Chains A and B, each alone.
Chain A
Amino acid sequence: MEYKLTFKEYNEAMKTGKLLGLKCKDCGSITAPPKMVCRKCGSENLEIIQLKGTGQITTFSTINVAAEGREAECPYTIVMVKLEEGPWLLGNITGVEPLKASMDLVGKKVKMQQATIFGGDKFSAGESARPLFALV
């Protein structure tokens, strides 16, 4: 069975600021990032939809020790965002000084911005968009 929404298509859309997801035609749940089946009920009966990109920060961390090759990015803040449609995404936050990021961020409303790009390294089989959020 053919994969409905591949990483490549999801990634290309994100680079243009569009967040795609899958809506289950059986249970109505939204799956994002994409999978073969609905993450709730396992159905293959899915359609591609565009998500709003709005949500709430559920948690965060400011990273001071990076993976090999990414040391220059430190310090940077990662956030988990619960999208309005349900799924959680991992991304970065703009407009917040990394070393000042605090528990105040939790629960804050955010909107997805134009994605930045992780250029990839020798292990990663190419580049990937990295979701970027800003406080609203």
Chain B
Amino acid sequence: MRKVAVVGVGETKFSGPQTKTGVELFAEAATDAMKDGNVKAKDVQALFVGNCLSDFAEGQGMVQAFAAENIGCFNVPANRYEGACASGSMAVRDAMMWVASGAYDIVLAGGVERAATLGTPLATRTFAMFSDARYEFPAGITFPGVFAMLAHLYAATYKIPIDKLREQMAAVSVQSCKYGAQNPKGQFFGKYGDLTVEKVLSSFMVASPLTLHDCCPFSDGAAAVVLASEDVAKKLTKKPVYILGAGQASSGPLISQYDHLPKIYARELASKQAYKQSGLSPKDINLVELHDCFSIASLIASESMGLFDYGKSGAAWQKGEAAIGGRVAINPSGGLKSKGHPIGATGAGQVYEVTKQLRGEAIPALQVPNAKTGMTDTLGGDGGTVVNMILQRGW
């Protein structure tokens, strides 16, 4: 297997409902990534696009083929990846595998979504499609409902009083909003920077115990990355960021995961694969962009990735261990909570953020000092798909 580098990254602003089509959004991110990587559209040998809900959001299927033509990657093989919120990371990981295998030298990967365009009722309905349609949805499961149940289960499993856990979860949202308010690409840029634990606790209860500020927003947006083999990457950029390890695993519906809950078993497997392939361990990781679709999801994710002990991550957040300058900087971009969650694009957006950090090109206030190694974590549905990637500065 060949070493694979991220040579270019691009991203639109993540936002609420906006008027550009999915193809247009993706085209903006993709052309930015190609410019950043000194790659022309004719050099791209394949296009992999994460996208979940264009069919519902704008009646558009097969968005990847039209996107390829739209940006001048004429007639290349174009694949669409659907793994709920992990779709973009599936696309990037597959691109990495194809380049590593030697089949391609340069692949463009990313994702696009217009989840905010759906509006809350239809978005809530379509997100619930990532639960079991026959054995979970009939009882009325929703996406916040999944993580609300995991929060109660987490409290019971680790014997943390629910009021204390709610304060820990709120601390996660407060940190994310503080950072995200300074990220011009983020949906909540300039907003909620002064969020407090009290405000999180007293906001509208979406699904007990999760309030509105425990939840990420619905978002529109796109992100793209150009991957190249090591030898090609060295000709394209002085700052290649290598994907040293990538893992992906699947699981059945939430009710089938009971041997492991509140841990997400697919993540335990995917992160181990990524660590093993990279030869690195959690202590080597300087910064992480992880899947905080809900505040509780951050706690669960960080523990399965080996960053904090089980049941202890909430206290770690409260002590600043997950802050920039702490033990490991988690979601300096603002994460899904504040930067936003255009689901098919989210994972590629995480790779964008980690790459910028490792190059030292993050927003100065959000730059993690001396960041050498970073990791991404993307959760599809309630653990049906998880992708983890470890990236490292290559110079």
Residues of A bordering B, CB below 8 Å: 7, 11, 33, 35, 39, 58-71, 73, 76, 78, 80, 82, 87-92, 101, 103, 106-107, 118, 121, 123-125, 128-131
Contact B162 A103 (CB under 8 A): yes
The CA-CA distance from A131 to B252 in the complex, in Å, is 19
Q: Which residues of B contact A80 (CB under 8 A)?
A: 149, 153, 254-255, 258
What's the nearest-Cβ distance from chain A to residue B144, in Å? Answer: 7
Contact B208 A61 (CB under 8 A): yes
Residue picked from A35, A61, A92, most chain B C-beta under 10 Å: A61
The CA-CA distance from A117 to B168 in the complex, in Å, is 38
21 inter-chain pairs at a CB distance below 8 angstroms, sorted by A residue, are A7-B134, A59-B152, A59-B153, A60-B152, A61-B209, A61-B210, A63-B145, A65-B206, A66-B124, A66-B140, A70-B140, A71-B121, A78-B141, A78-B149, A87-B255, A88-B255, A91-B139, A101-B208, A103-B152, A118-B137, A118-B138
Q: Which residues of B contact A33 (CB under 8 A)?
A: 132, 134-135, 255
Residue picked from B134, B141, B207, most chain A C-beta under 10 Å: B134
Q: Which residues of A contact B210 (CB under 8 A)?
A: 61
Q: Which residues of A contact B232 (CB under 8 A)?
A: none
Known: A58-B156, A89-B255; 6 extra A-B contacts, CB below 8 A, are: A33-B135, A67-B140, A68-B121, A80-B153, A82-B258, A90-B255
CB-nearest residue of chain A relative to B122?
A68
Q: Which residues of A contact B142 (CB under 8 A)?
A: 63, 65-67
A-B pairs with lowest CB-CB distance, top 8: A61-B148, A118-B138, A68-B121, A128-B138, A67-B125, A59-B153, A68-B125, A88-B258
Q: Which residues of B contact A11 (CB under 8 A)?
A: 134
Q: Which residues of A contact B136 (CB under 8 A)?
A: 90
Residues of B bordering A, CB below 8 Å: 120-122, 124-125, 128-129, 132-142, 144-145, 148-150, 152-153, 155-156, 162, 204-210, 252, 254-256, 258
Q: Which of B137, B150, B155 contacts A124 (CB 8 A)?
A: B137
What's the nearest-Cβ distance from chain B to residue A115, in Å? Answer: 9
What's the nearest-Cβ distance from chain A to residue B361, in Å? Answer: 38
Q: Which residues of A contact B258 (CB under 8 A)?
A: 58, 80, 82, 87-88
Contact B149 A59 (CB under 8 A): yes
Contact A90 B134 (CB under 8 A): no
Q: Which residues of A contact B134 (CB under 8 A)?
A: 7, 11, 33, 128
What's the nearest-Cβ distance from chain B to residue A105, in Å? Answer: 9
Contact A63 B254 (CB under 8 A): no
What's the nearest-Cβ distance from chain A to residue B295, in Å? Answer: 14
The CA-CA distance from A91 to B134 in the complex, in Å, is 12
Q: Which residues of B contact A88 (CB under 8 A)?
A: 255-256, 258
Contact A78 B140 (CB under 8 A): yes
Q: Which residues of A contact B137 (CB under 8 A)?
A: 67, 118, 124, 128
Contact A130 B207 (CB under 8 A): no
The CA-CA distance from A88 to B139 in the complex, in Å, is 14
The CA-CA distance from A125 to B120 in the complex, in Å, is 22
The CA-CA distance from A60 to B155 in the complex, in Å, is 12
What's the nearest-Cβ distance from chain B to residue A133, in Å? Answer: 10
The CA-CA distance from A73 to B140 in the complex, in Å, is 9
CB-nearest residue of chain B relative to A92?
B139
CB-nearest residue of chain A relative to B206?
A65
The CA-CA distance from A118 to B131 in the complex, in Å, is 15
The CA-CA distance from A98 to B129 in the complex, in Å, is 24
Contact A90 B148 (CB under 8 A): no
The CA-CA distance from A78 to B256 in the complex, in Å, is 16
Contact of A130 with B140 at beta-carbon distance under 8 Å, contacts A67-B124, A69-B125, A78-B145 already known = yes
The CA-CA distance from A106 to B124 in the complex, in Å, is 26
Q: Which residues of A contact B120 (CB under 8 A)?
A: 65
CB-nearest residue of chain B relative to A69?
B125
What's the nearest-Cβ distance from chain B to residue A57, in Å? Answer: 10
Contact A61 B152 (CB under 8 A): yes
Contact B139 A130 (CB under 8 A): yes
Q: Which residues of A contact B139 (CB under 8 A)?
A: 78, 90-92, 118, 130-131
What's the nearest-Cβ distance from chain B to residue A131, in Å? Answer: 7
CB-nearest residue of chain A relative to B121?
A68
Q: Which residues of A contact B141 (CB under 8 A)?
A: 78, 90
